[in-house]
């Protein structure tokens, strides 16, 4: 009886999962393949599939099934597929069904309309023209928050959308630690001349070859992955054996390579989810923070490490000729790890990145609380840039207008980037303890032990557990701890800049 009901629930959720993956394909294609003039009808297709998926998920029948299955599912093993699916879907259903369809539609429409306004405003360095749509997005965000019972802080509601159960107060505590311990590190090394950057040119075709070679050593296979160029890199896919990552190429730097390694990390997380979870609510990464821990791990802890470059620098020299002729592996390692406070978040180095996030986290809360008139946002932005990073912002284009998130109505998303950095170091300490030969393996091009460790301890679980439960399974504690990251940074920068370890 309950088994039959569970099968019915599972069937319904499988249908919704299919629609979700279909939307992922519509969106991937839009960014990667679609001819420009396909945009208008693509928006309709995305809206239609999204609306149907939402209607099907929030249908009263689903709520009823979840209700009826609660007792039965609690008698199953906690980590069984059955118990996990009912538990996770119930939580999703509670949250989704509290938001009226009209508000959701209005927010989608507002975001779609705000997007081109933001693009133009950024181009024109014209914050005033962005202000009305920002205001509207914030109003909608407040109305969204009002759909829920606010506990300690309103910001908790939106944060929870991206990082389930995370509290604003907890993030604040973590970020305060970073302000105290990471920010001074940046000041210690900034402006030191240990690292010298010369302008160079990296052949674009050679970049493509190099990135694919590295991705393949990491675990990219042609039968289950794609790598394509786009304007903004991202990871997507339609299932655990159809993973799609994108990248971009610049002639004067290897940013694309680090982007590819970053997206590979996201892709690998989805690829290594237990296939038995496919077509259910459980078949994706557990939270944005945990996802970002995986991308940052492959980009930074692997891709900016000395053993990695001992493996790949000779090949880079072969492929890029002149560009690296005056480098050896040591000077190149210093170059890819150079610390320099800069204006743009997505180009920030490991040491300054989190500071960009702290600024946004504080501004988002202030905007939701109407702490200042929205017209003042650029000043508030610029003041913090000076305070946290010590640099002046010459234009709103390079300041408050640089990120896409607020134009899309995404508030509460930014903190997960920094949390991901922190988690990556937390996990890394555990991995290195378990696999003492890990870095030696990198020098031989052997990344399988890392991949397998991640599958076993993290990836395969998908969304079966909460983020905190998942973290506990991986590192033994439910708390995100900023210390390992700061420790990792200090050690690395000690080697490069000679600051005290």
Asked if residue 15 binds a copy of itself (CB under 8 A), the reply is: yes
Task: Supply the minimum distance, in Å, between the C-beta of residue 275 and a copy of itself.
Answer: 10
Asked if residue 131 binds a copy of itself (CB under 8 A), the reply is: no
- Candidates 1, 36, 193, 433: give the one binding a copy of itself (CB under 8 A): 36
Question: Is 411 strand, coil or helix?
Answer: coil
Task: Supply the minimum distance, in Å, between the C-beta of residue 42 and a copy of itself.
Answer: 7
- Candidates 19, 110, 273, 288: give the one binding a copy of itself (CB under 8 A): 19
| Distance between CA atoms of residues 50 and 44, nearest Å | 10
Name residues contacting a copy of itself, limited to 47-66 (CB under 8 A): 47-49, 52
Name residues contacting a copy of itself, limited to 214-273 (CB under 8 A): 222-226, 238-239, 241-243
Q: Is the dihedral of CA 150, 152, 158, 159 positive or negative?
A: negative
Residue with Cβ nearer a copy of itself (9 or 418): 9
Asked if residue 212 binds a copy of itself (CB under 8 A), the reply is: no
Q: Which of 333, 272, 268 is nearest to 297 (CA)?
A: 268
Residue with Cβ nearer a copy of itself (49 or 131): 49
- Give the helix, strand, coil percentages of the chain, each rounded to 5: 70, 5, 30
- 263 has catalytic annotation: yes
| 234-268 exposure pattern, b = at least 16 Cβ within 10 A, e = fewer | bbbbbbbebbbbbbebeeebbbbbbbbbbbbbbbb
Strand order in the sheet with 225-229: 225-229, 242-247, 235-239
Q: Which of 240, 213, 420 is nearest to 227 (CA)?
A: 213
Among 33-41, 296-304, 389-397, 424-432, the segment contacting a copy of itself (CB under 8 A) = 33-41
Among 19-27, 150-158, 193-201, 288-296, the segment contacting a copy of itself (CB under 8 A) = 19-27
Q: Which of 122, 157, 162 is nearest to 143 (CA)?
A: 157
Question: Is 463 strand, coil or helix?
Answer: coil
Residue with Cβ nearer a copy of itself (20 or 378): 20
Residue with Cβ nearer a copy of itself (238 or 342): 238
Task: Supply the minimum distance, in Å, between the C-beta of residue 106 and a copy of itself.
Answer: 17
Name residues contacting a copy of itself, limited to 429-488 (CB under 8 A): none
Q: Which of 53, 137, 142 is nearest to 92 (CA)?
A: 53
| Distance between CA atoms of residues 94 and 148, nearest Å | 10
H-helix segments, 190-287:
204-218, 255-271
Count of residues binding a copy of itself (CB under 8 A)?
36
Residue with Cβ nearer a copy of itself (33 or 150): 33
Structure-token pair, residue 468: 């905190």
Task: Supply the minimum distance, in Å, between the C-beta of residue 39 and a copy of itself.
Answer: 9
Question: Who contacts 158 (Cβ-Cβ below 8 Å, separation ≥6)?
Answer: 141, 144, 145, 411, 412
Residue with Cβ nearer a copy of itself (253 or 271): 271
Task: Supply the minimum distance, in Å, between the C-beta of residue 298 and a copy of itself.
Answer: 20
Backbone angles phi, psi at 227, to 5 degrees: -130, 120
The answer to whether 43 touches 108, Cβ cutoff 8 Å, is no
Asked if residue 38 binds a copy of itself (CB under 8 A), the reply is: yes
Among 13-21, 133-141, 387-395, 469-477, the segment contacting a copy of itself (CB under 8 A) = 13-21
Asked if residue 34 binds a copy of itself (CB under 8 A), the reply is: yes
Task: Supply the minimum distance, in Å, between the C-beta of residue 48 and a copy of itself.
Answer: 4
Task: Supply the minimum distance, in Å, between the C-beta of residue 89 and a copy of itself.
Answer: 17
Q: Is 75 exposed, middle or buried (0-12, 13-18, 19+ CB in 10 A)?
A: exposed
Name residues contacting a copy of itself, limited to 262-291 (CB under 8 A): 278-279
| Distance between CA atoms of residues 274 and 455, nearest Å | 9
Catalytic residue among 163, 211, 263, 270: 263
Residue with Cβ nearer a copy of itself (61 or 387): 61
Among 40-48, 121-129, 211-219, 382-390, the segment contacting a copy of itself (CB under 8 A) = 40-48
Residue with Cβ nearer a copy of itself (45 or 97): 45
Structure-token pair, residue 263: 């997206």
Query: Which residues does the annotation mark as catalytic?
Result: 263
Q: Which residues sit at the interface with a copy of itself, rule CB under 8 A?
A: 14-15, 18-19, 21-22, 25-26, 29, 33-38, 40-42, 44-45, 47-49, 52, 222-226, 238-239, 241-243, 278-279
């Amino acid at each position: 009886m309950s088994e039959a009901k569970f099968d019915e629930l599972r069937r319904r959720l499988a249908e919704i999962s299919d629609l979700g993956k279909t939307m992922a394909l519509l969106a991937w294609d839009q960014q990667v393949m679609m001819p420009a003039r396909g945009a208008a009808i693509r928006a309709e297709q995305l809206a239609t599939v999204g609306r149907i998926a939402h209607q099907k998920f929030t249908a009263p029948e689903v709520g009823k099934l979840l209700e009826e299955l609660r007792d039965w599912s609690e008698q199953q093993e906690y980590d069984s597929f059955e118990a996990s699916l009912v538990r996770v879907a119930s939580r999703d259903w509670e949250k989704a069904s509290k938001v009226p369809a009209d508000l959701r539609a209005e927010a989608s429409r507002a975001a779609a309309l705000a997007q081109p306004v933001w693009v133009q405003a950024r181009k024109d360095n014209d914050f005033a023209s962005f202000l009305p749509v920002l205001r509207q997005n914030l109003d909608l965000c407040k109305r969204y928050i009002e759909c829920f019972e606010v506990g300690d802080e309103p910001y908790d509601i939106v944060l929870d959308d991206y990082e389930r159960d995370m509290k604003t107060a907890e993030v604040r505590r973590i970020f305060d630690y970073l302000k105290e311990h990471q920010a001074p590190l940046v000041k210690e090394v900034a402006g030191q001349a240990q690292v010298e950057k010369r302008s160079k040119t990296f052949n674009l075709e050679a970049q493509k070859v190099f990135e694919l070679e590295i991705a393949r050593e990491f675990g990219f296979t042609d039968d289950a992955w794609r790598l394509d160029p786009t304007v903004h890199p991202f990871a997507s896919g339609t299932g655990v054996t159809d993973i799609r990552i994108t990248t971009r190429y610049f002639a004067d730097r290897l940013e694309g390579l680090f982007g590819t390694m970053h997206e590979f990390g996201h892709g690998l997380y989805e690829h290594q989810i237990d296939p038995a979870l496919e077509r259910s609510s459980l078949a994706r990464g557990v939270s944005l923070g945990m996802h970002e821990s995986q991308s940052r791990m492959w980009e930074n802890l692997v891709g900016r490490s000395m053993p990695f470059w001992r493996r790949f620098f000779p090949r880079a020299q072969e492929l890029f000729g002149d560009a690296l002729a005056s480098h050896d592996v040591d000077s190149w390692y210093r170059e890819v790890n150079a610390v320099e406070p800069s204006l743009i978040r997505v180009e920030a180095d490991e040491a300054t990145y989190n500071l960009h996030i702290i600024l946004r986290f504080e501004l988002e809360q202030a905007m939701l609380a109407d702490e200042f008139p929205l017209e003042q946002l650029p000043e508030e932005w610029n003041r913090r840039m000076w305070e946290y990073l010590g640099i002046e912002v010459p234009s709103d284009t390079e300041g408050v207008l640089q990120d896409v998130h607020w134009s899309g109505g995404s508030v509460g998303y930014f903190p997960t980037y920094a949390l991901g950095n922190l988690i990556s170091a937390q996990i890394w300490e555990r991995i290195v303890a378990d696999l003492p030969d890990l870095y030696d393996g990198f020098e031989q091009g052997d990344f399988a032990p890392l991949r397998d460790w991640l599958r076993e301890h993290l990836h395969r679980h998908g969304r079966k557990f909460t983020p905190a439960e998942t973290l506990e399974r991986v590192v033994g504690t439910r708390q995100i701890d900023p210390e390992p990251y700061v420790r990792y940074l200090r050690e690395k920068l000690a080697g490069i800049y000679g600051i005290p370890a």
